[in-house]
Structure 1
Amino acid sequence: MSYPPYRVRAHKAQPRGGPSLVSLTLLITAPAVLAAAALRPR
C-alpha cells in the first residue's frame, strides 16, 4: 500500500479590507456592555 505524497495545505489569507477579529469583537460587545450598564438598577 502506498500513500499519496504529503502536501501542506495553503492557509487562507485573512481578507485585507475586512475588519480584524478584535474590532469585530469590540463592535459586538461594546453595545451590550453599555446596555447592561444603562439597565442596571441604581
Structure 2
Amino acid sequence: MRPSPKKVTYPRYRPTVRRAQPRQGPSLVSLTLLITAPAVLAAAALRPR
C-alpha cells in the first residue's frame, strides 16, 4: 500500500528590495558637455575663415 501524497507548501514569494546606490562621479549631462564643449570650440577655432 502506497502512502497518500502530502500537499507541498512553498514560502510566499517576496522579491528582494534593491536600494538605489548613490552614483559616483559626474552626471551624464555634465560628462557629455565636458566632451562636446572643447570639440565645438576647437571646430570653431579651426574653421577656415
TM bucket, shorter chain = 0.5 to 0.7
Q: Which runs of 5+ in 2 are unaligned?
A: 1-12
Q: Which residue of 2 aligns with 1:22?
A: 29
Count of aligned residue pairs for this structure pair: 37
| Deviation at residue 13 of structure 1 after TM alignment | 3.9
Q: Which residue of 1 aligns with 2:43?
A: 36
In structure 1, give the amino acid aligned to 2:35.
Answer: I
Change in Cα spacing, 1:36 to 1:13, as seen in structure 2 (3 Å) is: same
| RMSD between superposed Cα atoms in Å | 2.3
What is the TM-score of this pair, normalised by structure 1?
A: 0.62
Change in Cα spacing, 1:14 to 1:41, as seen in structure 2 (3 Å) is: farther
What is the TM-score of this pair, normalised by structure 2?
A: 0.55
Once residues 37 and 11 of structure 1 are traced to their aligned partners in structure 2, the CA distance between those partners, rounded to angstroms, is 45
